[in-house]
Amino acid sequence: MPRRSDRIHDLARGRVRMSMNKLNLFNLYKKTPLQVAGKTHYQQKYYSKQDARSYHGEHIQERRFKAMYNPSRKSFAQLDASLKGGPVKETPLSLQSFALLEKRLEIALFRAMFASSVRQARQFIMSGNVKVNGVVIKHCSYPLQSGDIFSVNPVKVLYALGKAKPGLEQALEVDQQQIQSWNQYVEQFKANPQDELAKARANPDDFHSSAVLEELKNRLSIVRNTINSRQDEVTLESIFVDILDTAKKATETVGAEGAGKVNKETFAGSTQRLSRFSVYEKLAKANHPLLDKFDTEEVTAFLANTAEKSDNEKALLRSIRDYLTDIQKAEWAKIRKDPEFGGYQASELANNLQPVEELDKDQVLENESSAKIDLPWQKGIFGRQDPTKPYFTPWKPRGFLGCFAILPHHIEISFETCHAVYLRDPIARPGHSEVITPFDESVHERAHMYYRRKVPRWETEEWCTKLSELLVIGLKNTKDEIRIVDACTGTGCIPLLLNHELSQAGFKTDIHGFDVSGKAYDLAMENLSRVHGQADGNVTFQLGDVFNARVLEQIGVTKPVDLITANPPYIPIEEYEKPLYHQGIERSVKLYEPKLALVGDWEFYYNLLEHVVLPSHAKGFVFELGYQEQADFVHKYLKDNPFWQVGSRDDSRQNIRCVIGWKKGTDYEILQKLCDFIY
């Protein structure tokens, strides 16, 4: 049974849920990032888990979720066929922490936008409205497989994503207000149509009917066609003929005495009179025969740009065509500005508007079908045009739907048929994860660490987790066996964790762990026996002392090693003996860990480098530490070695936690991605 849904969208708690509720949107808007300052690492993990679980599977009980949780996370190696070798974005594996939930049928329905929340999706499933591969499924946790086709009753989808259907009384109140407003508008429009149209022009967002808009559209279409037809009549030939005709009439009016001439005033009242006179003037200077005798055919022949014309005639033609084109444009603009095309027939529009009879509320409440509403924008009762449907009719999308409209990459959706194909389980690529979530990587990483709990100390757990993820991604294309040596192994959690993650990703491993303590060796062997058979690979533990120059022979390491890891004692004796109120060591550390595993300093890092790293021909190393001076010592030791590069990493409390080294030009240059600082 799912958890109770009391106060799911409570604004005081502010939890973000898998829901399209408007209150959930407000909770998402006001959500602030998790503040880690001043919190212990457990508190950081717990609060991150709390936030992440409030969204991912909040209806699943915690006990049940822990039982189904799988710490392995799927990723995808992006092949680069271009061989450019450019920078590759980091794969956000931490966002894959809750990918196992995405294959559940109830979550897939919500991701496909067939339900407004996961709980509503559960209702659709249990009521028999969901099919998988054509078969009705009533199990909400049904696991989808790649290629499965699931569908939902379209009526339920319209109900889930549509606006809420109003009650009959509520709808009638809205209709009464609409009818009163419409009748008042019609009365005002009939009384003074011109003023109402002027108001509509000044305030286009004001209330007016769709009938008026439709009438205006028809009127505009007629005007546009009339303007186009008139402009088609104004051609270069017609303008040229008009100029020649005006000049000829002016010449005949002067008489035989020849006292008058054609000048600029001859074309007074015409568009572009100066351009018209310039056309005549050029023809007169050329003593062109068109001035004495012309018709439409001769004008058309003159304006035709043929090869038979001489250079002078072509120059004259180009000049005249330029003037005629300017005159034509001016004539077209004059037609468009004609007042005849700018006035609306307000009186005609007023006659088309009719008032609507007010409703008898009591009668409609008894018989809903008796309501006769014929508003220009609405036929029938508000939101209940089809009272048999469970959603707002005509259908409208629910509020703020666009904020939640995120299509998943791993599901192909057809909204027309309300079917979807589950393509595959969501995976992660460089720079992208297919799991949709409102939280960032840091929240998911800490939540993953909460459920994983593989390493006793959180500081060690943090960098080990990051290291294993980096190796899985960075060494994706390697086929060689990965050989690792873990010095000062203690309980053996570091080699067991690395072996589990690498073997789960398909790598062959050969991992050796050693410690000087017999009790630590026994505990490591006990842990190995507990996980025996859970992962492939070869993990062995031996007794060995890092201060022994022949420690590699002692533990049976004869082949070159790829990676050295170590969590050596790094607390100086003076720091160990300080009381807590003088910034000494935490009480839990002193109580539950032996002094042998805690007290030490730079001498351990010297012997690790001198007796393990360099003799084993390792390609990289990761050592846990607690002080900046220890990282500086490692850097100083390898500073003059041209093959090595050194960096450091901080933990989530911004304290230095690891010193990291890698050989240049090897696959283990990927270790620099772990570093927050490189020397």
* pLDDT (tens digit per residue) in 23-46: 999 999 999 988 888 888 788 889
Please indicate, yes or no, whether residues 643 and 517 belong to a single structural domain of this protein: yes
Mean pLDDT of 238-243: 78
Sign of the four-CA dihedral 414, 418, 422, 427 = positive
* Relative orientation angle of helices 311-336 and 210-233, to the nearest 10 degrees: 160
Please tell me what DSSP assigns to residue 100: G
Q: Per-residue pLDDT for 582 more than 60?
A: no
Q: Which pLDDT belongs to residue 535?
A: 47
Please indicate, yes or no, whether residues 245 and 310 belong to a single structural domain of this protein: yes
Mean pLDDT of 123-145: 96
- Nearest to 564, CA basis, from 489, 641, 623, 645: 623
Confidence category of residue 53, pLDDT binned at 50, 70, 90: very high
Exposure b/e, 338-356, CB count within 10 A at least 16 = b: eeebeebebeebbeebeeb
- Nearest to 190, CA basis, from 169, 212, 163: 212
Would you list the DSSP string of 357-419? PPP-HHHHHH-GGG---EETTEESSTTBSSTTSSB-BS--BPTTHHHH----SSEEEETTTTE
User: Which range has the top average pLDDT, 320-334, 358-372, 408-422, 493-507?
Assistant: 408-422
Q: Per-residue pLDDT for 291 more than 90?
A: no
The domain tally of the chain equals 3
Please indicate, yes or no, whether residues 421 and 468 belong to a single structural domain of this protein: no
| Chosen domain end from 308, 341, 374 | 341
Q: Per-residue pLDDT for 306 more than 70?
A: no
- Nearest to 366, CA basis, from 164, 172, 166: 172
- Cα separation, 229 vs 444, in Å, equals 68
Q: Per-residue pLDDT for 259 more than 50?
A: no
Q: Per-residue pLDDT for 17 more than 50?
A: yes
- Cα separation, 489 vs 543, in Å, equals 10
CATH code assigned at 77: 3.10.290.10
Q: What is the pLDDT of residues 552-564, one digit of tens each?
A: 999 989 889 999 9
Please indicate, yes or no, whether residues 506 and 421 belong to a single structural domain of this protein: no
> Half-sphere exposure of residue 637, counting CA atoms within 13 Å on the CB side?
21
The mean pLDDT of the chain is 83
Q: Measuring CA to CA, how many Å separate 425 from each of 141, 148, 223?
A: 15, 11, 59
Mean pLDDT of 493-517: 89
Strands 482-487 and 509-515: parallel
Confidence category of residue 253, pLDDT binned at 50, 70, 90: low
Structural domain boundaries, residue 478: 454-678
Please indicate, yes or no, whether residues 437 and 467 belong to a single structural domain of this protein: no
Q: Which pLDDT belongs to residue 373?
A: 86
CATH code assigned at 613: 3.40.50.150
Please indicate, yes or no, whether residues 76 and 102 belong to a single structural domain of this protein: yes
- Nearest to 386, CA basis, from 171, 151, 130: 171
| Chosen domain end from 409, 441, 473 | 441
Q: Is residue 298 part of a domain?
A: yes
Please indicate, yes or no, whether residues 412 and 458 belong to a single structural domain of this protein: no
Please indicate, yes or no, whether residues 431 and 458 belong to a single structural domain of this protein: no
Q: Is residue 346 part of a domain?
A: no
Confidence category of residue 612, pLDDT binned at 50, 70, 90: very high
Residue type, 27: N
The share of the chain scoring above pLDDT 90, in percent, equals: 37
Q: Is 366 exposed, middle or buried (0-12, 13-18, 19+ CB in 10 A)?
A: exposed
SS3 184: helix
Q: Measuring CA to CA, how many Å separate 289 from each of 146, 284, 503?
A: 86, 9, 100
Mean pLDDT of 388-394: 92
Q: Which pLDDT belongs to residue 148?
A: 96
- Cα separation, 53 vs 444, in Å, equals 10
Q: Please give the structure tokens belonging to residue 251.
A: 């010449």
358 Ramachandran zone, left/alpha/beta (phi>0; psi -120 to 50): beta
Mean pLDDT of 89-116: 91
Q: Which pLDDT belongs to residue 599?
A: 82
Q: What is the pLDDT of residues 415-472, one digit of tens each?
A: 999 999 999 999 888 888 999 999 998 899 888 888 876 555 777 888 888 898 899 8
Q: Measuring CA to CA, how many Å separate 199 from each of 150, 203, 211, 218?
A: 53, 6, 17, 20
Q: Which residues pair with 422 in a beta bridge?
A: 148, 411
Q: Is residue 404 part of a domain?
A: yes
Confidence category of residue 596, pLDDT binned at 50, 70, 90: confident
Q: Per-residue pLDDT for 249 more than 80?
A: no
Mean pLDDT of 372-382: 86
Q: Per-residue pLDDT for 327 more than 50?
A: yes
Mean pLDDT of 515-533: 84
User: Scanning the structure block, which residue is given the tokens 């230095």?
Assistant: 656
Please indicate, yes or no, whether residues 418 and 529 belong to a single structural domain of this protein: no
Which contacts of 190-197 are long-range, i.e. CB under 8 A and separated by 24 or more positions?
190/350, 190/353, 193/346, 193/347, 193/349, 193/350, 194/346, 196/346, 197/344, 197/346, 197/349
Q: Is residue 293 part of a domain?
A: yes
Q: Is residue 246 part of a domain?
A: yes
Q: Per-residue pLDDT for 103 more than 70?
A: yes
Please indicate, yes or no, whether residues 38 and 85 belong to a single structural domain of this protein: yes
Q: What is the pLDDT of residues 617-660, one digit of tens each?
A: 999 999 999 889 999 999 999 998 999 999 999 987 788 999 99
Q: Which residues pair with 607 in a beta bridge?
A: none
Q: Is residue 359 part of a domain?
A: no
Please indicate, yes or no, whether residues 75 and 127 belong to a single structural domain of this protein: yes
> Half-sphere exposure of residue 89, counting CA atoms within 13 Å on the CB side?
10
Q: Which pLDDT belongs to residue 258?
A: 43
Strands 378-379 and 374-375: antiparallel
Please indicate, yes or no, whether residues 520 and 637 belong to a single structural domain of this protein: yes
Single pTM value for the model? 0.57
Q: Is residue 671 part of a domain?
A: yes
Q: Is residue 356 part of a domain?
A: no
